[in-house]
Amino acid sequence: MTRVRAVADLAFSGRFRVLAVVLFVFMAFNALVRLGLAFYNGDAGLLVPWKLLPAMAIGLAFDVAVAACVLAPLAVLIAFSRGSGRVLTWVLGAVLLLLSVLMVFVGFAEFTFWNEFASRFNFIAVDYLIYTNEVIGNLRESYHLPLLLSAVGAASLAVWALMMRRVRPLLRRAVLPWRATLVAASIWVVTPMLALTAAEARHKEFSANAQLNELAGNGYFDFWHAFWANTIDYDRFYKTLPRQRAVRELALEMGGHAKEITLSQRPNERDIVAEAPRKPLNVVLVSIESFSAEFMRAFGNQQALTPNMDQLAREGLLFTQMYATGTRTVRGLEALTLSVPPTPGHSIVKRPNNDQLFTVGEVFKTLGYEPMYLYGGYSYFDNMNAFFSGNGYTVIDRAALKPGEIHFENIWGVADEDLFTLTLRELDKRHAAGTKFFAHVMTTSNHRPFTYPAQRIDIPSRSGREGGVKYSDWAIGQFMAQARARPWFDDTVFVLVADHTHKGRGRQELPIENYHIPCIVYAPAHIAPRRVETIASQIDVAPTLLGLLNVSYKSKFFGHDILREGQHHPRALMANYQTVGYYESGRMVELKPNARFRVVDAASGRAMPMDGLSRHLLDEAISYYQLAAEAFRLGDLRHGNRTAAAR
């Protein structure tokens, strides 16, 4: 203990005492940010001392680890400034001003990020560094940017002035002897390595409350952790089963029998044989931005935000227990296109080697259809263009619209009505040419800053989420009304499904209500109205659609037909960044890095006993994610022989 104290005394001796001031200010500021986020979160249950104090203490440890990285270069600067303190004062003053701006800017950024995702920085924040045009544009359109930057500047100057008031006198202290200086500087250089070795992201997961765990984090640490860990090797970091056991579990899950299990090493590869003649209908799949089930009257909402979607729900096939696989658009696109579980890390849409995969578009292409992807923004965003074009889709985005054809646009894209006008134009062309089409349409309007053309609905533009929802519904109503007048309407199946919900907050890691989305299949000439109460996942949409059309094909999908296999084994798969989940029988299996797992009550988040049911669900969950990750890694999700794929 005496030796530790001696080391600490040396590390803060002479001019190195400046580092104590910077350390104190850095830690105090981050503690204030943590407290501010706790109040901003709006959950009074987090503010009780026995919950908040542990989060503050764990957060303090992360703050120290990050501070060590900040202080090391300052220590080197002090060590090699041997002359009078005047020059060092100017140089260090400039450095501390930059540090003050960084601290305050990151603090403000954490609040805006929390408002959107209810999380400290994660790999979404890393992604946003790539798409700076969209992110800066979104900030400009969502917030009063001059006021915000002025506040950042004023707060930065206040923090800097506070530090410099204490730093200036310390820089007039005598310079330590060279030996003592080098030892002190060496302590500061070594400290970050020790601190970062000891700090692990899992240390903040001290409770069953996901929001409390996020408060215990540190924005800087979480950002760099996400930067280095945004692609995760499932077999290395997650709980696995012996491969043959995983194969057996998944084969049984997908309706196989004991005899078949010994023959197939890829249970997701199976022949789907229709029991009736194929229906050669066009398909329009609309994935709607951030459209939670709770917005609709069909699910209990009384705000009358979605009259058009509710009418389609009454007149079509409504899946009442459909769940998104993730919290971002690319996860929804991945699930709807590839029918694959949301393996940890990035969506496959954003990964390398994601071309020539077995997609629902590929199945339709073998049947003579033209698969299309239509997007209201610029499709380079989130790698959409590369993914869809690399998988045989015709990609059409806002660049296909002339300025006079755009009624309204914001940083994310054109208004949904303009996207649907473009869609109708392109579908009319295909019909006139005698080409069957499978069109996947991705909307953008229901996204912050929630702006849209005036005089469309009774909620003014830029008023908030409700306006974005109601405008999206209005645009869908206009689209369907115009489509009904087309000669191809009676021969077309429309699928309307959200890409994800609008929610990020939740007391548990994977709150089931945050993944509940609507899914409607509408084809009045071919599909009778009814409600399907089966629990299902976005990965089941493509197989169910192909089942409704009586398509026989050699499948590589991990999803199943909700109306057939799904009736016997209802379940849903979902993910939140590095945690992947499996929902069945009222329980949620959570799989996390370092082979950690939990089985919890899906409604309350309460830990469930590891009884026979929990162990069975755990094995099923592992088999899905382990074999899906393996299939992508080994290239087994590629489409193979096109001529034999569908019939």
CATH code at position 301: 3.40.720.10
Q: Are residues 454 and 312 in the same domain?
A: yes
Separation of alpha carbons 382 and 329, rounded Å: 9
Query: Is 640 part of any domain?
Result: no
Query: Is 619 part of any domain?
Result: no
Q: Tokens 């009884």, residue?
A: 611
Calculate the dihedral angle through the C-alpha atoms of 647, 318, 306, 284, rounding to the nearest 10 degrees. 0
Q: Are residues 158 and 283 in the same domain?
A: no
Q: Are residues 342 and 405 in the same domain?
A: yes
Q: Are residues 299 and 225 in the same domain?
A: no
pTM: 0.78
Q: Are residues 118 and 214 in the same domain?
A: yes
Query: Is 582 part of any domain?
Result: no
pLDDT value, residue 95: 92
Structural domain harbouring 224: 2-229
The parts of the chain modelled with pLDDT lower than 50 are: 258-259, 263, 641-645, 647
DSSP 16: G
What is the CB neighbour count within 10 angstroms for residue 488? 17
pLDDT value, residue 114: 83
DSSP 608: P
pLDDT value, residue 259: 47
pLDDT value, residue 144: 77
Q: Are residues 547 and 431 in the same domain?
A: yes
Domain end: 505, 536, 560, which one? 560
Q: What share of the chain is helix, strand, coil (3-state, %, to 5)?
A: 55, 15, 30
- Report yes or no: 289 and 445 within 8 Å, Cβ to Cβ: yes
Q: Are residues 65 and 145 in the same domain?
A: yes
Query: Is 266 part of any domain?
Result: no
Q: Are residues 50 and 122 in the same domain?
A: yes
Query: Is 66 part of any domain?
Result: yes
Total domains in the fold of the chain = 2
Q: Are residues 383 and 531 in the same domain?
A: yes
Query: Is 349 part of any domain?
Result: yes
Q: Are residues 20 and 124 in the same domain?
A: yes
Query: Is 635 part of any domain?
Result: no
What is the CB neighbour count within 10 angstroms for residue 306? 25
pLDDT value, residue 645: 42
Q: Are residues 375 and 441 in the same domain?
A: yes
Query: Is 583 part of any domain?
Result: no
Domain end: 523, 538, 560, which one? 560
**E strands in 472-592:** 492-498, 516-522, 530-537, 553-555, 572-576, 579-584, 587-592
Angle (deg, nearest 10), helices 85-117 and 219-229 = 70
pLDDT value, residue 138: 65
Q: Residue 434 pairs with which residues in a beta bridge?
A: none
Q: Are residues 351 and 207 in the same domain?
A: no
